[in-house]
């Protein structure tokens, strides 16, 4: 059973930074596709960043250049470094993985392509 647990959320002012971490278990991170998603109140869940087995990265346009996804296979963690946070980044952030080892796409991140989810960590950015 794939298990994921997010941590690191909190409240910051605009322009600040946070680092989210996703601890995984029940599967091999080094051979898996991992992604971060977020969901703001009243909005659909959207993909933020994705990393595959060999380190290919995908970012949503709104976060490219500000967010960085990385993984540590030895520690079984996937991190999301978020810099220059803005109020529109306020959301619940989730990490997720797929049943399949490969990522469905190296161009976009779709919610329906992911099958296992953590419970989320809240990020709140004030102006």
Q: What is the mean pLDDT of the chain?
A: 96
> Which of 29, 43, 9, 30 shows the shortest CA–CA distance to 116?
29
* pLDDT tens figures, 60-92: 999 999 999 999 999 999 999 999 999 999 999
* CA distance linking residue 19 with residue 67, whole number of Å: 9
pLDDT in tens, 111-126: 999 999 999 999 999 9
Between CA 81 and CA 113 the distance in angstroms is: 23
State the pLDDT at residue 47. 97
Give the largest CA-CA distance in the chain: 40
Q: What is the pLDDT of residues 4-25, one digit of tens each?
A: 999 999 999 999 999 999 999 9
Name the phi and psi angles at 89, rounded to 5. Answer: -85, -5
Per the structure block, which two tokens stand in for 22? 């996703």
- Sign of the Cα torsion 79, 84, 89, 92 reads positive
Per the listing, tokens 């680092």 go with 19
């Amino acid at each position: 059973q794939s298990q994921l647990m997010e941590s690191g959320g909190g409240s910051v002012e605009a322009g600040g930074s946070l680092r989210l971490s996703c601890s995984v278990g029940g599967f091999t991170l080094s051979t898996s596709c991992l992604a971060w998603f977020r969901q703001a109140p009243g909005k659909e869940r959207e993909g933020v960043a994705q990393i595959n087995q060999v380190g290919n990265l995908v970012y949503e346009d709104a976060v490219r250049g500000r967010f960085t996804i990385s993984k540590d296979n030895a520690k079984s963690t996937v991190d999301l470094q978020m810099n220059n946070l803005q109020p529109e980044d306020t959301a619940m952030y989730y990490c997720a993985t797929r049943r399949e080892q490969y990522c469905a796409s190296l161009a976009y991140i779709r919610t329906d392509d992911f099958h296992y989810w953590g419970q989320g960590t809240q990020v709140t950015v004030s102006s």
